[in-house]
Structure 1
Amino acid sequence: MTRRSDVLVLGGAGVDTVIHVPELPLPLADSYMIDSGIRTRAGQTGDFVALGLTALGLDTHHLDLLGDDPEGDLVRALHHEHGIALTALPQPAGTKRAVNLVAPDGRRLSLYDTTRARPGDRFPEAALRELATASRHVHVTITQPCAAALPVLRETGVPLSTDLHDWDGENPYHEPFAHAADLVFLSAAALTDPERTMRRIAERGRAEAVVATAGAEGAYLLVSGELSRIPAVTPPAPVVDSNGAGDAFAAAFLYGRLAGEPPERCARYGAIAGAHACTVPATRAEAIGRAALLARAAGPNP
């Protein structure tokens, strides 16, 4: 019998190679000397959401396809180190990987290796259904093959969330995720009119709440047709890397939601966790804990 969990995180397991560059865009040159080193570590969007949820005390299970390769070993080791339950299904194409170029101000450019997936990849329906029904909530990343899993997940009746990341509001790949989820996160970075896109998501899909993060400008929250602004939170230390900030926001928002907090409070948690993530170097896997989150949320200016 499958053990009960608070959240099932679906997809988004992989490995990043992190390179700190002098600036972005990076000017064309024959070569650059990288004095800070080039490091490869486990941690893509699903890994970071699972890590954030676990640090906040939620029982988390992560399901994805992993290769029998060194990258897969890094992902398995990360989950083992942090006590995150992992169901890793075989992926002959190999474990997902990316290269992250990080500027001195913390901005990031990610290069994703699309060869680490195959069009016919699927999660076995029986395993997917069993893990979903044993969870209070399912967070679905937009990595392959999660889109094909959406109909099964909706049949289970378990609440769903997803993160559309830097969706431009037009790319059709993201639409099934946007319309199937009860809670939708996305970045406002590629949106000319965040409110318009958020309202379209709510009108065309099932979302009870839509959140668009906007970096140093805070976030937008749409609930029951009412749009509000969530103020940004001052990071507790210098900003070194924005990688994982959106995942941290989503994890902390979900923590609040599962604790029965109102959406505005959940978004405040998200802003605090996202600000904390920006102070963590990309070479480390570290998320804010529950005590620190609640302490900062209780202060007048977290």
Structure 2
Amino acid sequence: MPKVFIAGPVSWNRLVRVDRLPDPRPHTVFARGHRETVGGTSAGKALNLARLGAEVTLRTVVGDDAPGRAVLEVLRAAGVEVIAETAAGATEQHLNLMDPHGGRLSVYLELPELDHPAHDDRARAALAEADAAVVDLADHARPFLDADVPIWCDLHDYDGRSAFHRDFADAADHLFLNDDAMPDPEPFLVSRVRDGARTAVATLGARGAVGADASGVHRVDAVPVAEIVDTNGAGDAFFAGFLMAHLAGGDLPAALAAGAAQAVRCLTSPDLA
């Protein structure tokens, strides 16, 4: 059972289904349904990795409030060991508007700030035993970019220039992003490998994914989906499938295929995993 340490954000989200994402003008929109559930990129990765058989420790930040307690209950019920730092403010919360075609508009309602971590020793001990360290995009996760185990970073919609992402991009042994802000990510992936990354991967939505390592550039098609139920967490599911295949000894094409297979499981489920 591989051990994976994750540092990063979790959230409590309200998901609202609409016929189409709203235009930027004053008007009324009627929802087709809504619900509340756990969210956040680190929660998505942790839940998928646990479902795939990893021993997962997640260090995150929540508020002392009902949304925070709800998030922790979901994670712990899935078998994730959670090291929860308590923020002075509210737990991170999002409002996600989602259309039937996979489009999403996320509104951040709350964003916690961590002033005084109380469990650094416990987190460092878990990190030292890990086979991989996933360090997600959050200021409170930055201190773990200096880990002595392989660092995995998901840059999401990185455009190649954002200062906020730079430390994560530079520290990553294994780097992921999507093509939302980089329509042709292949040159960037190749450059990251040339500069020292072991693997660099970009998800391309319905066009699959592309990855680079010392062996060259490889692609995988997206697995066909008869009906998309919920796009939330699909990128994190891909990441988890890829990571588990890599830790099992799979080469880049095999890991890309495993990532694509896990992503489609997420797309056809209402949950993150």
Q: What is the TM-score with the length of structure 1 in the denominator?
A: 0.84
Does residue 203 of structure 2 align to residue 213 of structure 1? yes
Of 90-99 and 52-61, deviating more is: 90-99
Q: How far 1:241 moved relative to its partner?
A: 2.4
Q: Equivalents in 1 of 2:107, 2:194: separation in Å? A: 33
The one-letter code matched in structure 1 to 2:48 is G
Q: How far 1:233 moved relative to its partner?
A: 1.1
Q: Which residue of structure 1 lines up, in the alignment, with residue 88 of structure 2? A: 92
Does residue 8 of structure 2 align to residue 11 of structure 1? yes
The one-letter code matched in structure 2 to 1:173 is F
Q: Which residue of structure 2 lines up, in the alignment, with residue 39 of structure 1? A: 35
CA RMSD of aligned residues (A): 2.0
Q: Which residue of structure 2 lines up, in the alignment, with residue 21 of structure 1? A: 18
Matched length: 273
Q: Which residue of structure 2 lines up, in the alignment, with residue 194 of structure 1? A: 185
Q: Equivalents in 1 of 2:119, 2:76: separation in Å? A: 23
Q: Equivalents in 2 of 1:25, 1:122: separation in Å? A: 39
Q: How far 1:27 moved relative to its partner?
A: 5.7
Select the residue among 243, 248, 255 that pairs with 1:259.
248
Relative to structure 1, the CA distance from residue 186 to residue 123 in structure 2 (aligned partners, 3 Å threshold; closer, same or farther) is farther
Q: Equivalents in 1 of 2:118, 2:239: separation in Å? A: 23
Of 7-16 and 210-219, deviating more is: 7-16
Q: Equivalents in 1 of 2:55, 2:212: separation in Å? A: 28
SS in structure 2 of the partner of residue 105 of structure 1? coil
Select the residue among 140, 157, 164 that pairs with 1:166.
157
Q: Which residue of structure 2 lines up, in the alignment, with residue 145 of structure 1? A: 140
Q: How far 1:114 moved relative to its partner?
A: 5.6
Relative to structure 1, the CA distance from residue 123 to residue 250 in structure 2 (aligned partners, 3 Å threshold; closer, same or farther) is farther
Q: Equivalents in 1 of 2:247, 2:56: separation in Å? A: 12
Q: How far 1:144 moved relative to its partner?
A: 2.5
Relative to structure 1, the CA distance from residue 28 to residue 121 in structure 2 (aligned partners, 3 Å threshold; closer, same or farther) is farther
After the TM superposition, which residues 282-293 of structure 1 pair with which residues of structure 2 at under 5 Å, given as runs?
A: 284-285=271-272, 287=273
After the TM superposition, which residues 214-229 of structure 1 pair with which residues of structure 2 at under 5 Å, given as runs?
A: 214-224=204-214, 226-229=216-219
In structure 1, runs of 5+ residues without a counterpart are 288-302
Q: What is the TM-score with the length of structure 2 in the denominator?
A: 0.93
Identical counterparts, % of pairs: 31
Q: Which residue of structure 2 lines up, in the alignment, with residue 276 of structure 1? A: 265
